[in-house]
Amino acid sequence: MSTKPVVVYGASGYTGRLVCEYLRHYRVPFVAAGRSEEKLKDSMESSVPGIETADYEVTAVEHDVAALTELFTGAAVVLNTVGPFSELGPAAVEAALAAGAHYTDTTGEQDWLITCDEKYGAQFAEAGLLLSPGIAQMYTTGEIAAQLCLEEPGLDTLDIAVFWGGSPTIASTRTILVNAATSKAHFLDQNEYVEFPEQGLVPLVVPGQHELALSLPWGGTSHPVWFKRDPRVANCKAQGGVFNAALMHGVPQIVAGALEATKDMAADERNAALTETARQVMNQMPPRENPRVNKSLDSVHASGPLGRAHCVIHGNSNYQQTGLLQAYAAYSLLQTPPKRVGFASGCQAFGHRELLGVLRGFGLVSEPQLTVQR
């Protein structure tokens, strides 16, 4: 049973450490949880600046519903960073629901968001709890830009692009491969999910630079799922990628090779093979982010029959944005009910301007550049 109001599950990972760091900033007591007590203690002591001033404890736990329910009981909020979420998320969500705790995670897996919406959303709503998967830079910062555009009435179509500098973490790389092997990417067309065609790399115009950037559907992203139940939005398509063109050229080849090599394998065998492939791509913890290198850019074109809006948000330190957003979610939930219970995005649960203010307050994003044509 948790003696703290917040549990960070997967606290020893790259993103989990950052969540703990920002919980310390907000002075929120937390449990740093994961499978290995030794790894958790080492991660907290060596990789979380100022951890000696935080109110926390370390707890090792097995990844099953019963053990997680026991741990989560007594906590008000569960912040989950343990993926791939389509594989490992159900146990954590079911445990949070059983324990009566709000749940957030950092997923970008579209199939997992759809599962949360369709399978668990009503149960969380009935319990008066928030179920908010996908609170992370790659999705929430772009959603902030989209919501700013949608403040202009009469816009029903969202064209979203997200780019970042640097490389994904070990866990993110594995998640990308597992997601590609087990699910399809969708966009929203007249409020229906439509599967992305096989189109390979797509060049996109990036605001603020002359060079085109290469993009992929990146699993479809969270945005079409979040906006499917928004009556203002009928169409939503998102693409993303890294600024590093050489790395982007390699991504489709890596994914295609992994899919071909594992297509006839059983699930457990396939997951092991994909994990090994991910290690070949990224086998070490990335260094702490450098804002001169680890940049983010979110661009949203919103359009309607008679109007258009364009919003650009420049930022830095992508994973720090994620850690901060997760920590703020917990900080907010401990003080006031969310704006929406059940399945909801970060912006729907906490407010897009509130989240923008949080990111701005910590110096992680610039003032949005919003252009409206009426």
Q: Edge-to-edge strand order for the sheet containing 102-105?
A: 56-60, 30-34, 6-9, 77-80, 102-105, 130-132, 342-343
State whether 214 and 262 are in the same domain: yes
Answer whether residue 282 shows pLDDT above 60: no
State whether 153 and 210 are in the same domain: yes
Mean pLDDT to the nearest integer, 317-325 = 97
CATH number of 217's domain = 3.30.360.10
CA dihedral 81, 17, 240, 153 (to 10 degrees): 80
Q: Which residue has the tokens 């900033």?
A: 25
Q: How large a percentage of the chain has pLDDT more than 90?
A: 77
Report pLDDT for 130.
98
Report pLDDT for 173.
64
State whether 128 and 159 are in the same domain: no
State whether 219 and 339 are in the same domain: no
- Inter-residue contact 80 to 103 (CB < 8 Å): yes
Report pLDDT for 363.
97
State whether 287 and 335 are in the same domain: no
Within a domain: 298? yes
CATH number of 10's domain = 3.40.50.720
Mean pLDDT to the nearest integer, 154-171 = 86
State whether 58 and 200 are in the same domain: no
Within a domain: 53? yes
DSSP state of 280: H
DSSP 64-128: SHHHHHHHHTT-SEEEE--S-HHHHHHHHHHHHHHHT-EEEE----HHHHHHIIIIIHHHHHHTT
Report pLDDT for 175.
66
Within a domain: 112? yes
Answer whether residue 251 shows pLDDT above 90: no
State how many domains the chain has.
2
State whether 352 and 253 are in the same domain: no
State whether 346 and 298 are in the same domain: no
Fill in the amino acid letter for 126: E
State whether 354 and 271 are in the same domain: no
Mean pLDDT to the nearest integer, 328-347 = 98
State whether 75 and 131 are in the same domain: yes
Mean pLDDT to the nearest integer, 270-290 = 71
pTM here? 0.93
pLDDT in tens, 33-62: 999 999 999 999 999 999 999 999 999 999
Mean pLDDT to the nearest integer, 17-27 = 98
DSSP state of 350: H
Report pLDDT for 199.
81
Answer whether residue 124 shows pLDDT above 80: yes
Answer whether residue 151 shows pLDDT above 70: yes
Answer whether residue 227 shows pLDDT above 70: yes
Q: How large a percentage of the chain has pLDDT more than 70?
A: 91
Q: Which residue has the tokens 């050229």?
A: 249
Answer whether residue 180 shows pLDDT above 60: no
State whether 124 and 271 are in the same domain: no
Mean pLDDT to the nearest integer, 122-138 = 97
Within a domain: 1? no
Within a domain: 343? yes
State whether 108 and 65 are in the same domain: yes
Within a domain: 278? yes
Within a domain: 52? yes
Domain housing 259: 137-316+366-373
Within a domain: 355? yes
